[in-house]
Amino acid sequence: MCCTHSFEDRQSIDKDNTPVDLSGIAGMKFFDPHVHMTSRTTDDYQAMADAGVVALIEPAFWLGQPRTGLDSFRDYYSSLIGWERFRSSQFGIKHYCTIGLNSREANNEPLAEQVMEMLPLFIYKEGVVGIGEIGFDDQTAAEEKYYRAQLELAKEAGLPVQIHTPHRDKKGGTTRSMDIALEHGLDPHMVIVDHNNEETVKEVLDRGFWAAFTIYPFTKMGNERMVEIAKQYGSERIMVNSAADWGISDPLAVPKTAALMKLRGISDEDIRLITYQNAITAFAQSGQINEADFATGAGAIDQSQRFEGNTVLRGGQQPRVDKNSIIIS
């Protein structure tokens, strides 16, 4: 997820302008376990599919501005399991989501109470692979209250938890998030701690949790730093995601990181674990991920949906547009 950064910041960064070359990872499959597609354009889906992203998880997020009523939460959760899932399927990308009350939104307590009542309607839906993203932002008492309540919900439903760790006081907030999860009796193997960095990763792994890294320009991890972490810690229980959203972010962060890892000598198997398999292993504990739905490549068809052989475009996929042509027809 995003935080503030100005256009000027971006201008002032001295950049290495190595062009993107994804040829080293051609044929590899990627799973982006954290990306807010509702904030992205349909062109991003196409670019992700082209780069080898076959499945993704969209965690429930805040809107960028406060939601003022229950219905806007309902519509948002519905879009994650409805429209967004369909939009994704048009590019052969399997769309999963995690459902939860975002920490920022926990601070509006009267509304948070109503949302908590509604959550059970959504968490048992097909393709809901966890409770998330939940955790701390300001680390207020209200945030803690609803974080704890949602941990209980996850435990009851047998779902993994996707934890957002705070931008400010990250190290303390990460430790505290894990302490509380253990206090509620969650198995660390059911908890994915997100937005790690060099300072938090060791404790997260030592305590048996999954460590996710968000490759997000300026505010979180860069992928060069990620390569160093992979060299130091290996690939066990480590995964990367883009957390692309309405901020300046990159929906191709996972394939680009894989490409950089490849260039810098990380083994293919470690790349596969970090950019694909570990996320599946962690979130498949929900019972809601069937790798066969996407592992065979674009356009795998859900057997529960009628498929009519009336078009070359499978499952409602869109025809391609040639972006290199000046002609738009």
Partner 1 sequence: MYNYNVDALKALFKDILSANTSEDVLNWLLHEGNFNTRFVMVPRKTGKAALQISREQADSLNALIPGFSLNGWSIDMLSRAWVLLSLDATDKNEYFRKLEQLFLAAEVNELFSLYSSLPLLAYPDMWAKRCAEGIRSNIGNVLEAIMYQNPYPQKYLDQSAWNQLVLKAFFTGKDVGKIQGIDARANKELAYVISDYMHERRAAGRDINPSLWRLVGPFIDEKLIEDVKWALHSGVYVNEKAALLALTQSDYPAAVELLNRYPELRKAIENNQITWDGLTLEFQH
Residues that bind partner 1 (CB under 8 A): 74, 77-78, 81-83, 85-86, 90, 121-122, 124-127, 287, 302-306, 308, 310-313, 315-316, 329
Least distance CB 228 / partner 1 (angstroms): 40
User: Taking the alpha carbons of 162, 163, 164, 170 in that order, is the dihedral positive or negative?
Assistant: negative
- Which residue, 82 or 208, has its beta carbon nearer to partner 1? 82
Least distance CB 305 / partner 1 (angstroms): 5
Least distance CB 311 / partner 1 (angstroms): 6
Residue 194's contacts (CB-CB under 8 Å, 6 or more residues apart) are 34, 133, 162, 163, 164, 165, 212, 214, 241, 243
- Which residue, 23 or 304, has its beta carbon nearer to partner 1? 304
Q: Note whether 193 and 204 are within 8 A (CB).
A: yes
Locus of tokens 């998880």:
57
- Which residue, 86 or 208, has its beta carbon nearer to partner 1? 86
Residue 229's contacts (CB-CB under 8 Å, 6 or more residues apart) are 198, 201, 213, 221, 238
- Which residue, 126 or 179, has its beta carbon nearer to partner 1? 126
- If you compute the radius of gyration of the chain from its CA atoms, what whole number of angstroms results? 19
- Which residue, 128 or 273, has its beta carbon nearer to partner 1? 128
Q: What is the C-alpha to C-alpha distance for residues 313 and 299, in angstroms, rounded to an integer? A: 9
- Which residue, 68 or 311, has its beta carbon nearer to partner 1? 311
Least distance CB 83 / partner 1 (angstroms): 7
Least distance CB 86 / partner 1 (angstroms): 4
H or E element in which residue 9 lies:
helix 7-12
Least distance CB 177 / partner 1 (angstroms): 29
| Residue-by-residue DSSP string for 290-316 | -GGGTTT-TT---TTS---TT-SSGGG
**Both structure tokens of 189:** 């193997």
Least distance CB 304 / partner 1 (angstroms): 4
- Which residue, 16 or 308, has its beta carbon nearer to partner 1? 308
Neighbours of 157 (CB within 10 A): 16
- Which residue, 188 or 315, has its beta carbon nearer to partner 1? 315
Q: Note whether 75 and 109 are within 8 A (CB).
A: no
Q: In terms of Cα–Cα distance, which of 103, 202, 175 is closest to 145?
A: 103
Least distance CB 326 / partner 1 (angstroms): 17
Q: Note whether 131 and 120 are within 8 A (CB).
A: no
